[in-house]
């Protein structure tokens, strides 16, 4: 089996959980273990669905290991994954340029800070300079606003100034032209080449999941701001910049080739093993159509853009799967794509059920674990497709996907029919299904979803969003979700600042129109 694909902004963590290492000049490639993990997860989901969802992970894993192996048995299949080395080198060079941009910007901003303190401190005092893209300079409230604006213009040209009334401060956010002018003034060289790179850093830093990775890590001694007395802190600032330069070294696309081959001759396999082998191949195709490789895949990162698939194994039912898979890649509209994905899921589920000798059964109650139930009437598995018409850039699409999963975005959409904002709807907009933990810790309190008894629980999102491109390059977003019992709902609370937590089972759900549902 030969598969050619492109990964959309993949983020594969290495030894330090980052996409690359500038010091080692190493960019992390997608590994066979990444593909096998995706494959194994979808085998679990399809098999659990074949049992109507009323089965445990341990039983499903026994079935999966019959083909993909386990610690006790070898796999019937082996895999080799190869990525474009030239693209690796480009990614490493970009990471080095990002690091150089940060180092130069830190030097220039320090020079500016000292210059401003000596010459214009009476106009406005700098509180701190923030190094997380986009760079920001926070001032205490200017004494002479007109002079302050004029002096800023001398250093940066046109700048964006935001007034923070609550704190009696102002904040200056630097654009690419501001940074260019700053670097040319203090480093005495042409910095035009930095403009596009800085603009990319601004854009990618806006994506919510990336922004989380850019928060400073106090436990690792990082500092993300230059304050009034930075000398003793400068090594901590550099430590922070070194890490985020590697976090931000993301490639727009990465070409990958996957080869899957038998671990032993086909004629040595039993009839039943051969059937399970065909079913596993069908599941791999479905996994690549709906999944992604690397981290943050449930928010679109690492989405698989399939280019070419060849299967040497001849079989009538497997050929049918390949035809349906080809139909998915050629879908021209969202309705076509949705319909063809359902067809592919049904055909794959039927093949798996027959290969493992499982009688067809309906899911009459909520599944114990995530289960693929390819029945369009099922309330335990849902699939929707959105057609992307006005966004032609994958990074902007990742930004829209990320924002769609934020409770703050949900609040902004919470209007009644004729308008009128619903005050404090947070507890009624249930976002726990998008993954745990989902809480914010303050100095003395916590807000968001917590577990009774302060138990730490991590749970990935049940809702997946994937960028899909058909053979003509048209973009879609595939959204699908699994409803299952493996959530700590009896212990899950929603807590607001300064208040007791409420069990989510007692909270009604409010939709975007303000209507409540049990």
Please list the rounded mean pLDDT of every run of 10 residues in the chain (518 residues): 95 83 87 95 96 92 93 91 90 92 94 94 94 95 91 93 92 95 87 89 95 92 84 86 92 94 91 95 97 95 94 89 96 97 97 94 88 82 94 94 90 60 64 84 78 75 96 96 87 81 68 50
**80 near 258, Cβ under 8 Å?**
yes
Residue whose C-alpha is closest to residue 7's, from 304, 355, 308 = 304
Using the structure block, give the residue that is written with the tokens 């080198």: 89
Whether 341 and 327 have beta carbons less than 8 Å apart is answered as: no
What does the pLDDT read at residue 410? 82
Cβ proximity of 162 and 255 under 8 Å:
no
438-441 vs 136-140, strand pairing mode: unpaired
- 416 token code pair: 């009644």
Give the pairing of strands 126-130 and 136-140. Answer: antiparallel
| H or E stretch at 243 | helix 234-247
Q: Given strand 446-451, what is the order of strands in its sheet?
A: 438-441, 446-451, 492-495, 502-503
Which residues, other chains included, contact 94 with Cβ-Cβ below 8 Å and sequence gap of 6+?
197, 249, 251
The predicted structure's pLDDT at residue 518: 47
User: What whole-number distance in Å separates Cα of residue 341 and Cα of residue 516?
Assistant: 32
C-alpha to C-alpha distances, 353 to 47, 49, 311, 324, 379, nearest whole angstrom? 7, 9, 21, 18, 21
**Residue (of 439, 435, 440, 460) closest to 449 by Cα position:** 439
* CA nearest to 435, candidates 415, 413, 407, 470: 407
pLDDT given at position 255: 95
Measure Cα distances from 298 to 294, 301, 466, 477 in Å.
10, 7, 7, 12
Name the residue among 111, 117, 158, 109 with its Cα closest to residue 137: 109
What local confidence, expressed as pLDDT, does residue 493 receive?
A: 84
């Amino acid at each position: 089996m030969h598969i050619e694909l492109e990964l959309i902004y993949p983020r594969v963590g290495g030894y330090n959980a980052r996409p690359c290492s500038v010091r080692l000049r190493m960019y992390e490639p997608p590994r066979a273990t990444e593909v096998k993990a995706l494959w194994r997860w979808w085998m679990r989901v399809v098999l659990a669905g074949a049992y109507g969802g009323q089965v445990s992970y341990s039983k499903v894993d026994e079935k999966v290991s019959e083909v993909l192996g386990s610690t006790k048995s070898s796999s019937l299949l082996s895999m080799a994954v190869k990525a474009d080395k030239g693209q690796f080198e480009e990614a490493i060079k970009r990471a080095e340029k990002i690091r150089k941009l940060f180092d130069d910007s830190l030097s220039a901003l320090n020079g500016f800070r000292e210059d401003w303190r000596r010459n214009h401190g009476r106009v406005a005092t700098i509180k701190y300079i923030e190094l997380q893209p986009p760079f920001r300079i926070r001032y205490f409230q200017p004494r002479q606003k007109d002079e302050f604006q004029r002096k800023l213009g001398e250093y940066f040209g046109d700048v964006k100034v935001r007034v923070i009334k609550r704190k009696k401060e102002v904040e200056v956010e630097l654009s690419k032209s501001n940074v260019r002018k700053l670097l040319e003034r203090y480093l005495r060289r042409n910095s035009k080449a930095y403009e596009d790179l800085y603009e990319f850093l601004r854009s990618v830093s806006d994506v919510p999941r990336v922004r989380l990775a850019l928060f400073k890590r106090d436990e690792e001694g990082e500092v993300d701001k230059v304050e009034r007395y930075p000398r003793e802190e400068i090594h901590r600032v550099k430590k922070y910049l070194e890490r985020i330069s590697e976090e931000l070294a993301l490639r727009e696309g990465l070409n990958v080739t996957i080869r899957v081959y038998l671990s032993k001759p086909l004629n040595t396999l039993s009839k039943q093993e051969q059937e399970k082998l065909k079913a596993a191949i069908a599941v791999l195709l479905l996994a690549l159509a709906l999944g992604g490789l690397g981290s943050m895949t449930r928010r679109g990162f690492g989405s698989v853009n399939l280019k070419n698939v060849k299967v040497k194994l001849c079989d009538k039912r497997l050929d049918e799967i390949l035809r349906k898979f080809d139909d998915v890649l050629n879908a021209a509209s969202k309705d076509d794509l949705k319909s063809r994905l359902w067809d592919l899921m049904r055909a794959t589920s039927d093949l798996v059920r027959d290969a493992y000798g499982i009688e067809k059964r309906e899911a009459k109650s909520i599944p114990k674990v995530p289960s693929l139930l390819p029945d369009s009437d099922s309330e335990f598995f849902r699939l929707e497709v959105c057609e992307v018409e006005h966004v032609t850039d994958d990074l902007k699409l990742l930004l829209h996907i990320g924002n769609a999963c934020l409770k703050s975005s949900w609040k902004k959409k919470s209007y009644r029919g004729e308008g009128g904002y619903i005050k404090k709807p947070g507890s009624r907009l249930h976002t726990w299904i998008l993954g745990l933990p989902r809480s914010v810790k303050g100095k003395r309190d916590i807000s968001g979803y917590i577990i009774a008894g302060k138990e730490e629980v991590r749970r990935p999102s049940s809702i997946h969003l994937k960028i899909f491109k058909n053979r003509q390059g048209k973009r879609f977003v595939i959204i699908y979700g699994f409803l299952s019992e493996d959530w700590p709902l009896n212990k899950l609370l929603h807590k607001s600042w300064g208040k007791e937590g409420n069990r989510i089972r007692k909270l009604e759900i409010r939709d975007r129109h303000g209507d409540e549902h049990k």
